[in-house]
Structure 1
Amino acid sequence: MEAVCIGVGVPLTVADDAAGAGASSSDLLLVDAAVGGQAVPRGAVVVALADQPEAWETAARHAASAVVVLPHAAAWLAELISRSATPEVAVALGRVYGVVGATGGVGATTLACWLAAHVAAAGTATALIDGDPLGAGVDLALGEEAVDGLRWPELNQFSGAVAADQLWTAMPRVDELRYLSWDRHGSHATTVPAATVVAALRGAAAVQVVDLSRADLERQARWCDAVVVVTPRTVRGVLAAEHTARRCGAVPAVTVLAGVDVADLEPRVLAESVGVPCVATIAFDPRVPEHLDAGTVLRRARRPRHAKALAAILRAVEGL
């Protein structure tokens, strides 16, 4: 590290405590991956050697902005340090909202696509993140499966720095919406540093909407600032929503009613039963399945009744 800093003419200050250094300085904060259980300030850059694979877990657990593996990424780190010496390069970290179904087949992927597209249409830098390796790829829902661009499997065993600007440029887009999708088979699902990528993208996207995996919710919820639990209008749906909200741990959760009105369920009853606010109702739309198959599902989000519900959801999670 000292050699890199000397090379770019920027002084290096060494501190024993990462949290203390972060609280007392506005400079670029580099944290040794070997700190282990110590607190790592949010937005710090974790520095590791090639034989320290735990760096990815450390970065994900503390929402670090990047992981740098030396000596491979020394040139990129030198550029980052050089840019950090200029005050105007400071970047505010974006927000991450997760969407998960209380049960399967309730439309969580559709709602994630709609929310992300709604935010992007307002001119906000937005990314739709596919969090479910077993879902055959959110690009199918977008009708983008044949479009070239970065996808999760290409980040398999990604080493060096996760640079937000480079990721952002490589991600494919639909209109103004960027997205990162799995492939049809969830290739390399266990070796892709997904948590670190989502954390790094906070530096490029003002909002990320993550289509969360129900099977991996406890871990993935920690990526998020808030989680939207999509709940069917059934007794089973209410019970599942209560369990799903608890699985989010300390991350704030809200519910949204969706699907056919089987049990004549009111938002107030859902909120009382689950213990978290019910912030919107998505009107049942029988044409959504055909649009999903056709890859045109974003068109349905523009309908006034859906747009009104999406705006209500976003207002709710922005306040958490």
Structure 2
Amino acid sequence: MTADPDLLDDLLRLAAVGGADTDVAPDPAAARARWSGAPFVLVGVDQAAACLRARLPRRTRVVLIGHAGAIAPAWNVADLLGAEHVAVLPEADSWVMDLFAQRSGEPAVSRTLAVIGGRGGAGASILAAGLATTAVRVGHRTLLIDGDPLGGGLDLVLGWEEVSGLRWSALAGADGRVDPPALLGALPNRGDLVLLSFDRAELPGVPIEAMAATLDAARRGRDVIIADLPRQLDDAALLALQAADRTLLVVPAELRATASAARTAAVVAAHCENLAVVVRGPAPGNLRARDIAAALHLPLAGTLRPEPAVCRGIEEGRAPTADGKGHLAALCHHLISDLTRTPTSKAAA
């Protein structure tokens, strides 16, 4: 992370010699989504103070780096930044080159899937809950994030409204100095499924610091992260969207819903590289799923058929796909399998 062109040139040269791919960010805002997932992070001295102001989550393997002369004023912020090393170039060229050449010590890979409704009432929350339940059923430690403050509440979809644990309001002051196992252990959970949702008295909105801390903890302690996000993206939702490996846009098979989803897709696509559509029936006008996907210029990830049993189950406190039966369960199994088998490459930021 640096906006210093001379420092960046030297780091890219050392990375090339070390045979490493790099992810370059000019400032903390650009680095935030990739901050926690990278094997290690080099912070240029020109961005040290900005990092402190941005309150990025605490993480290991951070190096404060700069040229001789320029780095002296930043020594006092290294500890505040949580930097494990301070590297002065060109004296530390060989050490930095070796760091880039290392292939061990990378964090365990977790996968993040975001779900967004193309319009209100599209069924995104039911799909998100079904995906999380399915992920656990096939053996993945999973975190389900309710990021839509105006939604009905994923605790109700799961039948977890009486399950004790912290909600978003309790994490309002959270930052990177939280212990990941302790955070995940304090949230509502059953087996390998952990939920972070809203309580009924909360003010709308998710603090971005709380979202960042939660994503950081989940990357270290969960295999799969499912995030149900609002159509009106706030800062916290943008952070989760940018961290997602894939995003699903749920669209009812209706003309007006497709028109609304087109506007949503245009906003979402600016923040994620892998966006696909899930079309939910029935289709009153006989619109075909592939035609809706073509109209949105998105790949079709799957379709959802009407399943009254799923809606009855939610009313009775049963989580979607809990029994592994039905069309929704089959779609969720396919989507989770596709998510977890897709190769991922975490580059140094």
Alignment TM-score > 0.5, same fold: yes
1:270-298 deviation digits (Å, cap 9, x = unpaired): 22111111121111012333332332133
Counterpart in 1 of 2:292?
Answer: 270
One-letter amino acid of the structure 2 residue matched with residue 129 of structure 1: I
Query: C-alpha distance in 2, partners of 1:114/1:39?
Result: 31
Given residue 292 of structure 2, which amino acid in structure 1 is its aligned partner?
L
Q: Considering only aligned residues, what root-mean-square deviation do their CA atoms show, in Å?
A: 4.2
Deviation at 1:108, TM superposition (A): 0.6
| Superposed displacement of residue 231, structure 1 | 0.8
Match of 2:283 among 229, 253, 261: 261
1:239 to 253, 259, 273: 259
Q: Which residue of 2 aligns with 1:212?
A: 229
Q: How many pairs are equivalent? A: 290
Q: Quick one: distance in 2 between partners of 1:166 and 1:18?
A: 40
Report the CA distance between 1:36 and its aligned residue.
Answer: 4.5
Stretch deviating more after TM superposition (208-217 or 182-191) = 182-191
Check 1:272–1:301 CA distance in 2 against 1; reply closer, same or farther (3 A cut).
Answer: farther
Cα deviation for residue 225 of structure 1 reads: 1.6
Q: 1:102–1:235: structure 2 CA closer, same or farther, 3 Å change rule?
A: same
1:55: Cα distance to partner?
A: 2.1
State which structure, 1 or 2, has the greater radius of gyration over its C-alpha atoms: 2
Q: Does structure 1 conserve the Cα–Cα contact (< 8 Å) formed by 2:123 and 2:250?
A: yes
For residues 72-113 of structure 1, the C-alpha deviation after alignment (integer angstroms, 9 at most, x for no partner) is xx89x69x99xxxxx986422311111111111121101000
* Residue 135 (structure 1) shift: 2.2
Instruction: Give 1:160 shift.
Output: 5.1
Please tell me whether residue 286 in structure 1 is matched to residue 308 in structure 2. yes
Is residue 107 from structure 1 mapped to residue 101 from structure 2 by the alignment? no
Closer, same or farther: CA 38–249 of 1 in aligned 2, 3 Å: closer
Asked whether the equivalents of residues 132 and 212 of structure 1 are also in contact (C-alpha less than 8 Å), the reply is: yes
State the AA in 2 paired with 1:236: R
Task: Say which SS state the counterpart of residue 233 (structure 2) adopts.
Answer: helix
Paired-residue identity, %: 27
Query: Given residue 20 of structure 1, which amino acid in structure 2 is its aligned partner?
Result: L
Change (3 A) 1:23 1:298: farther
Q: How does 1:53-92 map to 2 (within 5 A)?
A: 53-56=53-56, 90-92=106-108
The one of 115, 134, 154 aligned to 1:118: 134
2:22 is matched with none
Residue of structure 2 in register with 1:132 after alignment: 148
2:314 maps to a residue whose letter is L
5+ residue gaps in structure 2? 1-6, 19-25, 63-75, 86-102, 344-349
- The Cα shift of 1:315 comes to 4.5
Q: TM-score, normalised by structure 1?
A: 0.73
Match of 2:111 among 95, 110, 125: 95
Q: Distance in 2 between matches of 1:146 and 1:283?
A: 30
Q: Is the 8 A contact 1:65 1:203 kept in 2?
A: no
Secondary structure in 1 matching 2:163: coil
Q: Is the 8 A contact 1:65 1:202 kept in 2?
A: no
Mapped to 2, the partners of 1:139 and 1:198 lie a distance apart of 17
Deviation at 1:304, TM superposition (A): 3.5
What is the CA deviation profile of residues 245-285 of structure 1, one whole-angstrom value per residue up to 9, with x for unaligned ones?
22113411111111422121222212211111112111101
- 38 and 241 in structure 1: CA distance in 2 versus 1, 3 angstrom threshold: closer
Q: Specify which structure has the bigger relative contact order, considering alpha-carbon pairs within 8 angstroms and separated by 6 or more residues.
A: 2
Q: Distance in 2 between matches of 1:23 and 1:110?
A: 44
Residue identity opposite 1:288 in structure 2: V
Tell me if structure 2 keeps the 8 A contact 1:131–1:213.
yes
**CA pair 196-257 structure 1, distance change in 2 beyond 3 A:** same
Matched, 1:163 2:183: no
TM-score, structure 2 length as denominator? 0.68
The whole-number CA distance in structure 2 between the counterparts of 1:190 and 1:131 is: 7
Deviation at 1:39? Answer: 5.3
